[in-house]
């Protein structure tokens, strides 16, 4: 089953390992370092709209981070609405 994370991007629910709130991440020294490291060393899918959350995914050994214009709470609620296992806060 796929979850829409905005901008017509769909991600398989089995690949999502974390949904992170943008404001929480940018206020944290460690959070900023986490995103900066992935920007330099891995894949971050950037969007043109205002970023409200980060979705961390894995496919085998590959980790990808997607920016989303949908809040982390709204994405977590999509799991509940679709009867999927709830993501931990």
pLDDT digits 0-9 by tens, 23-33: 999 999 999 99
| In a domain? residue 88 | no
* Greatest distance between any 2 Cα atoms in the chain: 36
In a domain, 59, yes or no: yes
- The reported pTM is 0.84
Total domains in the chain come to: 1
In a domain, 7, yes or no: yes
Which residue range is the domain that position 25 belongs to? 2-81
Question: Structure tokens of 69?
Answer: 């214009």
What's the confidence (pLDDT) of residue 42?
79
The predicted pLDDT at position 83 comes to 57
What is the structure's pLDDT at 72? Answer: 95
- Low-confidence residues in the chain, pLDDT < 70: 81-89
In a domain, residue 35? The reply is yes
């Amino acid at each position: 089953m796929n979850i829409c994370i905005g901008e017509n991007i769909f991600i398989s629910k089995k690949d999502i390992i974390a949904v992170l709130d943008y404001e929480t991440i940018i206020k944290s020294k460690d959070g900023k370092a986490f995103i900066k490291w992935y920007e330099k060393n891995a894949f971050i899918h950037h969007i043109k709209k205002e970023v409200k959350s980060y979705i961390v995914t894995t496919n085998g050994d590959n980790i990808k981070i997607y920016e989303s214009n949908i809040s982390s709470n709204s994405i977590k609620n999509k799991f509940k609405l679709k009867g999927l296992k709830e993501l931990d806060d």
